[in-house]
Every structure is written in structure tokens, then in C-alpha cells.
Amino acid sequence: MFFGKKKNPHDTACLVSHVVIAVLLFLAALASLIGVIMSHYGAMLLAQDSGQNAMMLFGTNAGSLSLIAFAFTTAVWVKSLKACMMGCDACGTTGKK
């Protein structure tokens, strides 16, 4: 009604593969976010259970690697979402039909 019908810039198989990849990358980004939370705040949660002083941990190998993994998976996920919306080289479209 308000907007005209937009044509899909992808073939059906290409669009399905883009959506599946975007969903899997979203799940990987979510898992890496949980890794960031557990590596920085996990010791704090364990310390509260045992009655010790609670503190966040920074500078550990696990914390650094989890931040790198989160940044990488988020960047690749955003790039895959862009590929879903625009055209791609795989199906031979440029996004402007």
C-alpha cells in the first residue's frame, strides 16, 4: 500500500543459502558473546557463591580471545546480512533489478 513491491535481487537457492549462513553466524556471535560474559564475569559469579570478594577479570588469555572471537563473528555476521540484502556475485546480480 505505502511501498511498492521490491524485487528480490537473488535467485531462490542463493537467498536460502545467504539466510542459512546469516542464521548460523548469528548463533556463533551469540555463543561468542556468552564466552565474553563467562570469561569476564564468570569468576565474579563464582566468587559471590563462595562468599569471597567479587571482581571482574581482564587481561586473561580466555578474555582476550573471546573478545577477538566476538568482534570477528559480529563483523562477518554483519557482512553476511549485507550480502542478503544486496546482490552477490554467486547469482550474477548487482542488487539493482
User: What's the confidence (pLDDT) of residue 47?
Assistant: 61
Each residue's pLDDT, cut to its tens digit, for the chain (97 residues) gives: 455 556 666 677 788 888 899 999 999 999 999 988 888 777 666 666 566 666 677 777 888 898 999 999 999 999 888 888 777 777 765 544 4
User: What's the confidence (pLDDT) of residue 27?
Assistant: 96
User: What's the confidence (pLDDT) of residue 3?
Assistant: 58
pLDDT digits (tens, 9 = 90+) for 5-20: 566 666 777 888 888 9
User: What's the confidence (pLDDT) of residue 46?
Assistant: 63
DSSP H stretches of helix in 1-97: 12-50, 61-85
Question: What does the alpha-carbon distance between residue 55 and residue 16 come to, in Å, rounded to a whole number?
Answer: 45
User: What's the confidence (pLDDT) of residue 85?
Assistant: 79
User: What's the confidence (pLDDT) of residue 9?
Assistant: 65
Question: What does the alpha-carbon distance between residue 71 and residue 65 come to, in Å, rounded to a whole number?
Answer: 10
